[in-house]
Each structure stands twice: as C-alpha cells, then as structure tokens.
Amino acid sequence: MTTAAADTPVITLTTDFGHKGPFVAVMKGVIISALPNARIIDLTHEVHVHWPAEAGFWLSRSYHYFPPGTVHIAVVDPGVGTSRDILGASCNGHYFLAPDNGLIPAVLDKQGNKNLFRLSDQWLSAHAPNTISSTFHGRDIFAPLGAQLASGKIELADIGPEIFDPVPSLIEPAETVGGQLRGVVIAIDHFGNLITNIAAEQLLGFSMPVATLAGQQFKFHKTYGNVAPGDFLALINSFNVVEIARAEGNAADSLGVGWGAPISIRDCAA
Amino acid sequence: MTTAAADTPVITLTTDFGHKGPFVAVMKGVIISALPNARIIDLTHEVHVHWPAEAGFWLSRSYHYFPPGTVHIAVVDPGVGTSRDILGASCNGHYFLAPDNGLIPAVLDKQGNKNLFRLSDQWLSAHAPNTISSTFHGRDIFAPLGAQLASGKIELADIGPEIFDPVPSLIEPAETVGGQLRGVVIAIDHFGNLITNIAAEQLLGFSMPVATLAGQQFKFHKTYGNVAPGDFLALINSFNVVEIARAEGNAADSLGVGWGAPISIRDCAA
Amino acid sequence: MTTAAADTPVITLTTDFGHKGPFVAVMKGVIISALPNARIIDLTHEVHVHWPAEAGFWLSRSYHYFPPGTVHIAVVDPGVGTSRDILGASCNGHYFLAPDNGLIPAVLDKQGNKNLFRLSDQWLSAHAPNTISSTFHGRDIFAPLGAQLASGKIELADIGPEIFDPVPSLIEPAETVGGQLRGVVIAIDHFGNLITNIAAEQLLGFSMPVATLAGQQFKFHKTYGNVAPGDFLALINSFNVVEIARAEGNAADSLGVGWGAPISIRDCAA
C-alpha cells in the first residue's frame, strides 16, 4: 500500500451537518492545526439527515474525481457516542473514514481491491484529545485521524485490526426481480431531480426501458433539454445512474417523492 | 493579452447547483487534479435555478474584487447537453467561461475592452474526458477548461474562434421610458432584500427619486439603520444598484415579490 | 503581544449573510487580493439574521480549535452604515473583529486575558477603499482590516485606541435564580437541536438535573443514542453547554421553539 502523503494532502468532508453553526468549521480547524497544508474540500454537508446510505452513494460515485491519496471523511452518525465502531478503508489509492453503520459498504461494495480496518482503543488513547465528546466524533476523532492519515505519517493498517464484517449498507443494491429492475431514490438534488441507485450498466439488456415511480411512467431521454419545459423524463445522469427529472422543473416536489421511494424499470420491448 | 498564469491561480465558481450532492465538489476535484495549486472560491451556488441573468448580474458586479487573471466559471445551464455553445471571454484581465445562453453578455455588455471566443470541437476532442456526460458539463468541460486557462498554459484564443454574436442577455438593461427608469428585480439576498438591475449612475439626474414596486412606493435612504425597524426603504446598495429593503425585516416575503418583478423610479421633483 | 504573522495566516468568517449572492465571496476576493496566502475558513454564514448573540456564542465556543494567530471576522451588523463603532480584540493569541453591538463581549466576557480596541477614523482614511459603502462593511472595512492584521504587518493596537466599555452582549449570561439555573436557546443546529447558553460547569452542583423548556421537562442523558428514536433528552453537548434534542428527530420543530426561548434547570434531588 502506498501512503497518502503528497505535497498537498487532500481531505474531503461529507456530513449531514448542514451549514448552521460551526460544526464543519471546527473539524477544519482541528485538521489544519495538525496539518497546516491540508487542502479540505466539502463534498456535501446536506446528506439527508441520519441516512448514511446517501453519503455512501455519493462517495462511491465521486471519490475518483479527487487525486489519489485523498482521505474522504464521512460523518453521518446517528449512533455517535454509543458503542458503534469507527472504520477506515482503502480502495484504489483512496482512503475512507466513517462510522460502522453501513456507510463504507455503500461506498465500496462493488469494488474488489479494498481493505477495511477498525479504529482501535489504542489509537484513541494515544492520539485523540483528552476529552472525547459523546456527540461530536467528527471533531474529536475523525478530524485528527484524517489529518494523521493524510499526512502520510501512518498507514491505514496502523489504526487497528483489519476486519471483514462491517455493518452492511442500509439499502439493498438495485436488482432484477421477475424481469424488472428494482431500486430506490437514493438522493435528491437542488433541482429536485430524483437520483436512484440503479446503475446504467444494469440497463444494458433493455432496448425500450420505461421507469415507474409514484404510479407514473417515465420514458428515457438523453438530457433535460430534449423534452419540453415542464415535461418529465428518465435519463442516465452524469454519475451513471438512473434519474427521474422534470425539465426546468422540480420532480421531487411535483411527484411528492422522497428518499427511499421505490422505483422499477421494465423493458417494454420484452 | 497577458496570460492568467500566477503563483496561485484563482478560479471562482458560480452555479445554481445549491449545496445538495457533490456537484460543486467534483468540479473542484477535477480542477485540483489538473492544477493542484489552484485556489477555488465559491462565488455563489444559489443563483435562482435556470436563470442565467442573475449569475451574469452578480459576476458583472463582483469580478473586479478578485485578483487579475482570475478565471470565473459560471454554470447556469438549462440547455446542458443540447447543441448550445460554450463561450470564453476576457475583459480587464479577467476570464469568464459560461454556456452561450445570455450569461456572458449579462456580465460584459457595458464593458468596452472584451473578447469572446466559442469553444471548438477540436478543444473538446483533444482535452475533455473520453466520455462527456449530457447533463454535467460543469465537471466534464468547464472544470478542465478552467484549470487549463488558469494554469497559463493556453491563451483564451486557443479554445476556438472569436465570435461577436453571443446569445443576448435574457433581461433587457434598465432604461428610461417616458421620464421613468424601468428595471427588474434581478436577485434576492438572504435577508430578503430585493436587488434590481438599475444602476446608481442612472439616477444621477433625479433629485427626489421614488421607487414603485408591487404597487407600493419607496423613498430612498442611505442605509437600513436610517429608518425604524420594520419600515421599508429604497437605497443604493454596496454593488451600486437600487435595492428595496425592509429594516431588520424581509422585503421579498413581505411584498410577495420574486425574480423578474418590474420596478420603476420616477423623480418627484420633476 | 505576539503578532498574527504565520507562514499561512488563517482567517475565519462568521456572518448572517447566508449563501445567496456573492457577499461572502467578495470578502474573500478582497482578502486574497491583499494577502494571497491567506487561508480562509467559513465558520458559519447562517447565524440567525440580525442576532449578534448567536455569532458571539459560537465564536466563544469555537475559536480555540483554530491555530493561534487566527483572525476571526464576525459580521452580524444590523447597524451597518450608522455611527456604530467597529472593534478589534485579542485574547489567548486569537484576534476578533466585529461591530460594536455586543458580539465581542459575547465571545470574551468570561475570558481574563483580553484587550479591546476601537477602529479609528485614521485607519479608515489611510487603509480602506476610497468609497466605503453604507451597507457592506464586511467587504469594505472588515476584509481589508482582517487581511492586514493576519499579515502580521500591524499590531491590533495600531488600529485605534484601547477601550473598556464595549456595547454589552444582548443576552444576559445564564445564572442561578432561586435555586434554578436560567438561560436561553442561543442557537439551533441543522438537526433542530436546541443549544443553550447554560454551561456544563454551571451544573456541577446538581445531582439530578431536569430541564424545563416550552412547558415540558427533559432528563439528562449522555448522547442521542441513549434514548429511543423520537424521544426527547437533555444533554451536555460537544461545546460543553446544555442542549435539548430529539433522538433522530427535530426538537425545534417538534416543540415550536426558537432563538431566545427561556430554559430553566432545577435539581430534583434538592
């Protein structure tokens, strides 16, 4: 394994903290206090609250746009301060730190080349602040751990024992049942586009796919501008998953659909 | 033309992407992967969705606060993936990249010293990722193009042919009709202040200006604290345009007024 | 006093500007134009509008997570453009710049080792832009002043005379009245957790504390996961103050409680 060291170590932050209060900021303060040349990029802080599935989904579809060696810290953590573990993972030269709540498997389930480690009490005793709060491990554990890993001073294997049985993802992967592809709405963007966990490659055998969501049917088009403003469409979006959208409109509001809503796709040519 | 090269190249990002999902973050990942020392500043990601006019307005009033050589990327792009062009512009030592949908003219219409170029298919073939998505040119075209321009390795003229006929701004500039100045609400800030496209210099001949918006009249004052909390006022704001505000209150909510609402100003002394 | 100079000067920004429009961005543009290597961290821009008390509270609980020498600029400024003063303060190696509206005392009231200075007209004449707007001192005064201070070229004492009578904090500190601790809701986070100005150390004498807010009573637990999802709890949060929360829910929405709401705590064992 190569270390994460680089001239400019890169750390991304993914949380459900939103932008009220200094929660993200003090994580950054802790990181730059330990690693002044760290480059910190906010992946998003508007993950659906208490839903690690969305954080894992976005990381799985985004991490490779960052330089190799990047440390991706993801804190969507309703179990903070309980006995849940903290995991570190490496995959394709990237590093991931998250609570053991299904988030990491959502990132890495389909990746072959990965290793998982459980943060040990020894690391906590040696490296974390004297007082670790019960409600903000992002600041008190993830930030110093991420800075140390990004600095290249430690290997991921130094944080604790390797494990092979993380808590599984909350959400089943999309799959084919009786000729239908079945998945869920895994994220909703600022435009109200409904983003699903059905991957483009799962549609390869379909010659005339039609999506069904909230009792309505949607035909596939290439992009929003290919239908009239106000019309609905299905498309393969820029992260290579199926999306239901409304051209120059808000599909989530119009359809009254939220996170976790079921979607199915059948092949009308079949 | 001097190149954009500098010890620390600066890139600003203006979009209507909001803060949900990793859309802005992966643009940054692409930029720093190509140009590790790029300094990226979010201008705003809360432009009124699908409304290039607001993005152009804010850039026109903001760009000169950044260092010369800054590359300003603006992606408000309802036509993404259709045949619309992509433009690059230079003006007063700054660079602008945006879809050809009126955004760039909204930035530069009143500037004399400007040059516009249309991104060529040759540049796309040579420099963009093998697969350009149909729905996210921000990541697949604008980010790598912006990084290359900010690096100083290319001149703006290298991206394609010079053009003189961009798609014009969606919004007519404010103008005087029958003794009245007429404009529109072009932006609404977090406080609910209604910001118009009427410039301070257009009021130079007025000795007693009174604004009319949503059937109500507003007198001009110097600043919010010059009227009682809860009172409405018109003022020349910090970007040198006319603004309608409510002291320690929210004018947009109170008046029920949105983007594009017409405003007029007459001179009561006339 | 040591100066703020460092290889990488750090500046934090705290405002109630939200994320619409380029207000925060142009402050950053002004800072990096003057001090290209400044590292700027957004503390938060979603302070409750026109309420300096929340900004002061968060800064008081957060500043020590940043490196010594950090300059903390806080602009929650309903009196912008009126005759209100601008203050600079130093405390424990950190610097603070804010309007004289109670914000700085909210940060520093319980700190011993502090110095306050009032920005002089001389500094403004010598260093600020030729035209200072009446509505955006963040850009026209605070940004250039913060950059200059962070550069280490000036001492805080150079900005004007030392003062000892700043406008006091809007909010009384929490205190014990008739055996009850009384405070207020000073901040609400993205999860709807109600964060109060009652410090953990004020509860030291209590063996069975119970909080009362909005007519309901709340028992103390260690963390959210210690009660069932949907249940309410009181806890000492990660910033060492009392918080009322709803496990995997939104306490603010559920209780209909906002900023400034009174909370009391009594000792049921007393």
Residue C43 scores a pLDDT above 70? yes
C97 touches chain B (CB under 8 A): no
**A123 to chain B nearest CA, in Å?**
30
pLDDT category of residue C2 using cuts at 50, 70 and 90: very low
Amino acid C129: pLDDT: 64
Contacts of A1 (CB under 8 A, 6+ apart): A90, A115, A155, A156, A157
d(CA C230, CA C234): 13
In this complex, the residue of A14, A65, A191 whose CB is nearest that of residue B49 is: A191
C48 touches chain B (CB under 8 A): no
Give the mean model confidence (pLDDT) for residues C108-129: 88
Neighbouring-strand partners of residue C72: C12, C96
Neighbouring-strand partners of residue C211: C218, C265
Nearest CA in chain A to B15: A190
Give the mean model confidence (pLDDT) for residues B192-203: 97
pLDDT category of residue C4 using cuts at 50, 70 and 90: very low
C235 touches chain A (CB under 8 A): yes
| Beta-carbon separation of C78 and B224 below 8 A | yes
Write down which chains contact chain C via at least 3 CB pairs under 8 A: A, B
A109 touches chain B (CB under 8 A): no
B8 touches chain C (CB under 8 A): yes
Amino acid B85: pLDDT: 97
pTM value is: 0.96
| Beta-carbon separation of C37 and B191 below 8 A | no
Instruction: Supply the ipTM of this predicted assembly.
Output: 0.96
A142 touches chain B (CB under 8 A): no
**C58 to chain A nearest CA, in Å?**
7
C238 touches chain A (CB under 8 A): yes
- A65: which chain B residues are within 8 Å (Cβ-Cβ)? 26, 29-30, 33, 139
A66 touches chain B (CB under 8 A): yes
With a pLDDT cut of 90, the percent of chain A lying above it is 88
d(CA A45, CA B25): 11
Residues B150/B230, Cβ–Cβ less than 8 Å: no
Amino acid C32: pLDDT: 97
Contacts of C80 (CB under 8 A, 6+ apart): B223, B224, B225, C99, C134, C135, C136, C137
pLDDT category of residue C5 using cuts at 50, 70 and 90: very low
State whether residue A219 is helix, strand or coil.
strand
pLDDT category of residue A81 using cuts at 50, 70 and 90: confident
d(CA A99, CA A56): 11
Domains of chain B from N-terminus onward:
10-158 (3.40.50.10790), 175-267 (2.40.30.90)
| Beta-carbon separation of A29 and C39 below 8 A | no
Q: Over the stretch C51-73, which tens digit does the pLDDT of each residue have?
A: 999 999 999 999 999 999 999 99
Q: Over the stretch C157-174, which tens digit does the pLDDT of each residue have?
A: 999 999 999 999 989 999
